[in-house]
Homo-oligomer: A and B are copies of this chain.
């Protein structure tokens, strides 16, 4: 099956630039749970999400924390860290659902970035977006209590899934938040006592979004 290749700023590109990008892009179908990248040593090329969801996270051997998530039309720069001088940190990338992506060859993108001021500045904006997301997270971790962070996470999940019934384990939530399963369980039970959530095996139903909002604010 053939897919049309759409690049976010393609209307601003010269025809030959768009053409070079299109030729350098291969479609890939990624199974849910696949780790697309484990650290900075790999340079797969730019990932452009067609549909589905990727998450970028960092980890030591014991814990993980989600840095940001990527949805339709989002681009993952850090799968092509070799094209960027001075970008030196480990990012792991995992498919959260079955996900279709384009993989754009790193060397072609690098060349385009070095010749086109439009693509260079677009890349700059992408990096600034990710940087801002990581700074937001950093401030959350530094300055906010865990109940706020968990409430914020649940709100975000409701808006991603479009449902108040979240099917995820406490372990999975811990891995998003850089915490331990026990800590998540304890706080969720606390939320349950306050009639904010209803816990079942493998799922969490948010029954009072107003109270959840109050914790976030």
Contact = CB atoms under 8 A, between A and B. Distances in A.
Interface in A128-142: 128-132, 134-139, 141-142
A58 B125 contact: no
A128 B84 contact: yes
A63 B58 CA distance: 25
Contact of A129 (B62, B86, B115, B137): B86
A128 B81 CA distance: 10
Most buried by B among A116, A117, A129: A117
Interface residues of A, number: 38
A141 B88 CA distance: 17
A11 interface: no
A138 B84 contact: no
A65 B121 contact: no
Interface of A: 58, 60, 62-63, 65, 84-89, 113-117, 120-121, 123-132, 134-139, 141-143, 178
18 contacts: A58-B138, A58-B139, A60-B139, A60-B143, A65-B142, A84-B125, A85-B128, A89-B131, A89-B135, A89-B136, A114-B121, A115-B117, A116-B117, A134-B134, A134-B135, A137-B138, A138-B138, A142-B178
Given A60-B139, A127-B131, A137-B138, 12 more contacts: A58-B135, A58-B139, A58-B142, A60-B143, A87-B131, A87-B132, A88-B132, A114-B121, A120-B120, A120-B121, A130-B131, A134-B135
